[in-house]
Every structure is written in structure tokens, then in C-alpha cells.
């Protein structure tokens, strides 16, 4: 074996030292981008910028962004930060947010999500991920499929989906004091799996008693799977890498496709209607078409994908709100009285659910503290001068808002980390910083559907059970998850109410 001579070692060391010095100078320069523009920023890591703990899955990426929001000086309206060396811009002020999301929407009408190239997959080519000009057309077509009238048709399907859940709970083992230990997050995911099957795929399922292995596995992979977690961090924060990981990691189930196409085909053949999204899609398919975007072939399937992430969000809304109510018995009792009053007067009807105002307030507070979609993103389509400043945001700059940061910001919310549904009484003015469903023309299109989903499940549970959480079961955020989820589940104690 030959060893390097003393000269050889010297040259190698000199080369390594030069490479390190050059990298240092390069990184320092890249990481001074915001300082050179006069924008406030935070201390950085030479390799990871400001995103080290998130890319290493030590903290949930959405939570991490919230920490950047919190780490900034109190009144800074925006903050420059870096994902590796890429400059990104974090909005911290409701007025600036309105300017960008509403008033100057034309320049910020697309999400940074999924990168500038449009990819084909259920996860990308639906209303959430699609870019302009197709977004505008699609939004106008999808909005009428989620109106109050459509919601009323979906309502019986939501109730029906709850029946197996209640039977399952009834049959769960209990201790000598009649207490059952239930993971509300898993319970909610199971209900949501059946709801997705029913509303987005037009097929009734019962995951509680007769789980369809292939379907349940595909949906659980979607909610929990590590591959999708990696894919989500990538599409939200490093979409340049989407090509490398492949969009199929977001969702790719041949079984879902099969169920979807069978439902479409049989519904078209028989002319039957069920009040679900398949009915709406068939209407779109048979309606007038636009030359740029047609409701045909895979495009129909992509739209049902909207409900996968949408119902995941409402599932999170339900389980985290229930967790808060479990820890606040006084609010739980007020919510229960609200539910009982409405149902005793009208039965389990759509009208009864419209009357449950205190439940609305509890859910509103639930999504303030635990925003299911905690990160809102856009990018600048053209260079943009921030009004009243000399700061230019260059074309392509990713823009983020952290709802963890904003909705717990003590500048806007008194006792900011306390769960208190009374913030939302009719006569109290809610801060503009409260935007759990986003803001402007691109805000959530499924808000009412999601709220009703969460309300139906909470009402069914609280009408029958008293619920609490033991301190040792306290839930913690999943550090791998871009969307809000509990790593150790939401383990609660359930005891049947004596009526």
C-alpha cells in the first residue's frame, strides 16, 4: 500500500482548507441576502439556514415555522429566513397579509407548494396544488359543488358514517368504573376513512367492523405514512426537489382508482344519485368544457383527491378540539348542553346542527390553537415592491404564513395559549390574525364541509360520553408531520353518561 508523501498530505490539507473557506464565503454571502435588502432575519446555520430542526424531523416543520415567527422581534411585520440557502419570506402582520393575500392577489395567486412545474397525481393536480390560469377556472367550477345545498345532501352521509363508530365504541372493553380508553385521533381517522369512501368515492364502507384491507391501508398510509410525510415537507418547503422524490409518494393507490372509476361508471349507467361528490363530478363531466381544462379522464379523479387532504384537516379539527374539551370539563359541559338543546328540539337534523353555536365557538378555538393546515404559502409571480417601503421581493420568492405563530401571537390574542371558546361570542371582535382557513380568493373552499364533519362527530360523542384526558397521556405533536398530528395519539378516557 502506498502512503501519501508529506508533500501530498500538505497539498490535500491545503485543498480541503481552501474548499472549506470557499464554502464558508459562499454560504455567508448567500445567507446575507435579507440583510443586504434591509429585511430583518434571524441567526442562521451555515448549511441548513433557519430550517435545521425541521429538515432533520426534530420538530414538525409547521411548528418550526411557528417558532421562527415567535423568535422575531415583537413588532416586525415580516421576517426573511432561509431553507438551506434559499431565501424565504415570512409574513407576521395581519395588514401585510391582507395586502398580499387579498389586495395584490394577482401577483400571489399561486402556491409555492409543488414547485413551478405542474405534476400529475391525485395529490398535486387538484384545486389545492393547481396553478393559474387553470386554478381560476377550476375554483369557479368546484365552488358550486360545496354550497350549503350540497352540504345538506352530504349531511345524511356524515350521520350514516357515524353509526358503525358509535357501535364500535359501545363494544370497546371498559374497566370496573365503566371507563374505556380511546385514541380519539385513530377513531377520527377511521371515521374519516369511511367518510372519504362515502363522499369522495361514492362507496359505503365500515372500517370499524369490516375494514377493507387495501383501502384502509392506503388511507392510513396517507394519514400516517413516512413516505408521505417526507413528500409533504418537500412539496411545501423544498418543491425544487419534487422531481427527485417523485410525486407518486404523495398518493398512489390503484385500489382507490378502481373504486372511483367503478362508482363513476355505475352511477352514469344507472342514473342513481347519492348526494355525494361523484354526483357533482358527473355533472361537471357532462357540462360545458373549457379548452384549457377538461373534466374528463384523470382530471376527475384528481378532484376527488381534494377530499383526502380536506377531510384529513377536519379529522384533525375534530380530534384536537375534543382533546381541548377533554381537558376543560366546564366548556365540555356547555358544548354538551348546546348539542342536547338543539337535538332535543329538532332531532339529528341539518337544522339542529346550524343551531349549535357554542360547539361552533369551541371548534373555532380548537383550530386557533391547533390549525390543521398550519402553513399558508404563496410565491411572487413578478418582482414586487412592498407598499410603503423600498423592499423588493424578487420574482419567485416563496412567501409563508405560520398559523401557529400568528394565531398564538400575544399581540393579537389575550391569554394567547389558553383554550377559551368565549373569544368567539357574537359580540366579540375576532382579530384579523385569525385565519385558520386562509384568506383571500384562495382560502379554503371546503370550510363549511369541514366544520360540519367535525361538528357531527363531536356531537355524537359528547351526547353519549363524558370524556377526559389523563395528564400522563398528554399528546405531543408529531415531528415528522407537515399537517398537524399527534405523535402519541390523542388518548382519552370515555365514560357513558347516565341519562
Which chain residues interact with ligand HEM by CB under 6 A?
127-128, 139, 146, 306-307, 310-311, 313-314, 317, 367, 372-373, 376, 436-439, 442-446, 449-451, 454
Identify whether the C-beta of residue 124 lies closer than 8 Å to the C-beta of residue 442.
no
Nearest distance from residue 150's CB to ligand HEM, in Å? 10
Nearest distance from residue 11's CB to ligand HEM, in Å? 54
Nearest distance from residue 447's CB to ligand HEM, in Å? 6
Q: Which grid cell sits at 439?
A: 384568506
Nearest distance from residue 208's CB to ligand HEM, in Å? 21
| Residue among 231 and 373 whose Cβ is closer to ligand HEM | 373
Cα 20 to Cα 39: distance, rounded to the nearest angstrom: 28
Nearest distance from residue 320's CB to ligand HEM, in Å? 10
Cα 97 to Cα 99: distance, rounded to the nearest angstrom: 5
Nearest distance from residue 112's CB to ligand HEM, in Å? 11
| Residue among 197 and 445 whose Cβ is closer to ligand HEM | 445
Q: First vs last Cα of the chain: how many Å apart?
A: 86
| Residue among 154 and 393 whose Cβ is closer to ligand HEM | 154
Nearest distance from residue 137's CB to ligand HEM, in Å? 11
How far, CA to CA in Å, does 162 sit from each of 68, 168, 204, 327, 455? Answer: 40, 10, 12, 24, 12
Nearest distance from residue 232's CB to ligand HEM, in Å? 14
Nearest distance from residue 144's CB to ligand HEM, in Å? 13
3-state SS record for the chain: CCCCCHHHHHHHHHHHHHHHHHHHHHHHHHCCHHHHCCCCECCCECCCECCHHHHCCCCCHHHHHHHHHHHCCCCCCEEEEEECCEEEEEECCHHHHHHHHHHCHHHHCCCCCCCCCCCCCCCCCCCCCCCCCHHHHHHHHHHHHHCHHHHHHHHHHHHHHHHHHHHHHHCCCCCCCCEEEEEHHHHHHHHHHHHHHHHHCCCCCCCCCCCCHHHHHHHHHHHHCHHHHHHHHHHHHCHHHHHHHCHHHCCCCHHHHHHHHHHHHHHHHHCCCCCCHHHHHHHHHHCCCCCCCCCCCHHHHHHHHHHHHHHHHHHHHHHHHHHHHHHCHHHHHHHHHHHHHHHHHHCCCHHHHHHCHHHHHHHHHHHHHCCCCCEEEEECCCCEECCCCCCEECCCCEEEEEHHHHCCCCCCCCCCCCCCHHHHCCCCCCCCCCCCCCCHHHCCCCHHHHHHHHHHHHHHHHHHEEEECCHHHCCCECCCCCCCCECCCCEEEEEECCC
| Residue among 409 and 466 whose Cβ is closer to ligand HEM | 409
| Residue among 215 and 320 whose Cβ is closer to ligand HEM | 320
Which residues neighbour 43 within 8 Å (Cβ) at sequence distance 6 or greater?
A: none
Residue 88 marked in a binding site: no
| Residue among 111 and 466 whose Cβ is closer to ligand HEM | 111
Nearest distance from residue 26's CB to ligand HEM, in Å? 34
Binding site residues, as ranges? 444
Binding site residues for heme, as ranges? 444
Amino acid at each position: 500500500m502506498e502512503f501519501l508523501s508529506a508533500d501530498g498530505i500538505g497539498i490535500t490539507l491545503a485543498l480541503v482548507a481552501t474548499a472549506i473557506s470557499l464554502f464558508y464565503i459562499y454560504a455567508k454571502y448567500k445567507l446575507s441576502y435579507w440583510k443586504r435588502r434591509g429585511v430583518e432575519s434571524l441567526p442562521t446555520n451555515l448549511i441548513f439556514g433557519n430550517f435545521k430542526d425541521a429538515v432533520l424531523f426534530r420538530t414538525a416543520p409547521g411548528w418550526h415555522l411557528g417558532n421562527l415567527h415567535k423568535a422575531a422581534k415583537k413588532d416586525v411585520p415580516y421576517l426573511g429566513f432561509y431553507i438551506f440557502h434559499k431565501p424565504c419570506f415570512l409574513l407576521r402582520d395581519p395588514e401585510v397579509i391582507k395586502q398580499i393575500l387579498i389586495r395584490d392577489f394577482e401577483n400571489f395567486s399561486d402556491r409555492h407548494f409543488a414547485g413551478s412545474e405542474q405534476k400529475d397525481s391525485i395529490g398535486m393536480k387538484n384545486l389545492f396544488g393547481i396553478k393559474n390560469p387553470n386554478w381560476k377556472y377550476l375554483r369557479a367550477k368546484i365552488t358550486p359543488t360545496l354550497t350549503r345545498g350540497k352540504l345538506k345532501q352530504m349531511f345524511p352521509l356524515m350521520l350514516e358514517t357515524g353509526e358503525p363508530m358509535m357501535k364500535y365504541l359501545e363494544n370497546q372493553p371498559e374497566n370496573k368504573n365503566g371507563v374505556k380508553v380511546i385514541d380519539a385521533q385513530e377513531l377520527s381517522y377511521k371515521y374519516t376513512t369511511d367518510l372519504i369512501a362515502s363522499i369522495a368515492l361514492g362507496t359505503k364502507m365500515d372500517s370499524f367492523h369490516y375494514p377493507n384491507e387495501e383501502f384502509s391501508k392506503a388511507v392510513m398510509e396517507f394519514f400516517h405514512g413516512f413516505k408521505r410525510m417526507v413528500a409533504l415537507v418537500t412539496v411545501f418547503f423544498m418543491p425544487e426537489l419534487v422531481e427527485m422524490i417523485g410525486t407518486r409518494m404523495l398518493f398512489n393507490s390503484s385500489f382507490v382508482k378502481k373504486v372511483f372509476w367503478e362508482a363513476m361508471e355505475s352511477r352514469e349507467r344507472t342514473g342513481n344519485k347519492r348526494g355525494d361528490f361523484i354526483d357533482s363530478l358527473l355533472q361537471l363531466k357532462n357540462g360545458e368544457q373549457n379548452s384549457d381544462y377538461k373534466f374528463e379522464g384523470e382530471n376527475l379523479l384528481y378532484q376527488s383527491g381534494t377530499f383526502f387532504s380536506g377531510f384529513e384537516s377536519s379529522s384533525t379539527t375534530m380530534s384536537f378540539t375534543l382533546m381541548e374539551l377533554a381537558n376543560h370539563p366546564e366548556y365540555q359541559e356547555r358544548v354538551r348542553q348546546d348539542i342536547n338543546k338543539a337535538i332535543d328540539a329538532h332531532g339529528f337534523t341539518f337544522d339542529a346542527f346550524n343551531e349549535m353555536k357554542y360547539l361552533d365557538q369551541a371548534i373555532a378555538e380548537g383550530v386557533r390553537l391547533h390549525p390543521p393546515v398550519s402553513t399558508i404559502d404563496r410565491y411572487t409571480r413578478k418582482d414586487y415592491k412592498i407598499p410603503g417601503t423600498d423592499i423588493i421581493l424578487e420574482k419567485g420568492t416563496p412567501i409563508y404564513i405560520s398559523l401557529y405563530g400568528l394565531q398564538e401571537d400575544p399581540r393579537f390574542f389575550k391569554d394567547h395559549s389558553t383554550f377559551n371558546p368565549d373569544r368567539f361570542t357574537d359580540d366579540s371582535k375576532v382579530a384579523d390574525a385569525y385565519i385558520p382557513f386562509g384568506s383571500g380568493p384562495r382560502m379554503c373552499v371546503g370550510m363549511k364541509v369541514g366544520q360540519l364533519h367535525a361538528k357531527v362527530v363531536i356531537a355524537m360523542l359528547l351526547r353519549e360520553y363524558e370524556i377526559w384526558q389523563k395528564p400522563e397521556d398528554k399528546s405531543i405533536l408529531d415531528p415528522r408531520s407537515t399537517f398537524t398530528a399527534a405523535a402519541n395519539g390523542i388518548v382519552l378516557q370515555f365514560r357513558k353518561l347516565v341519562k
